[in-house]
Amino acid sequence: MRSIINFAAVILLLQGLIGFVGRVAFDSEWGFLHRLVDLPTPAYLGVAAAGAVALIWADIASKRDQS
């Protein structure tokens, strides 16, 4: 289950960063997320932050299970 969470978190992190960079630096839509929903530019950073939080949470949970 944690590997699925890690995979989804990495996808969220990448889609958020790619979407933000695409809009800010190149003034175009990048990634897959813009095909699903129409997000404002700062929301892409929120998606990336949610992915980062999920990665950190999964890492802490796996370390807790090992000890």
Residues 11-60 have pLDDT tens digits of 999 999 999 999 999 988 898 988 999 999 999 999 999 999 999 998 89
The DSSP element (H or E) to which 51 belongs, if any, is helix 41-66
- The reported pTM is 0.85
Name the pLDDT band for 5 (thresholds 50, 70, 90).
confident
Packed helices 2-25 and 41-66: angle between N→C axes, nearest 10 degrees: 150
Q: Given a cut of 90, is residue 63 above it in pLDDT?
A: no
Q: Inform me whether the pLDDT recorded for 62 exceeds 90.
A: no
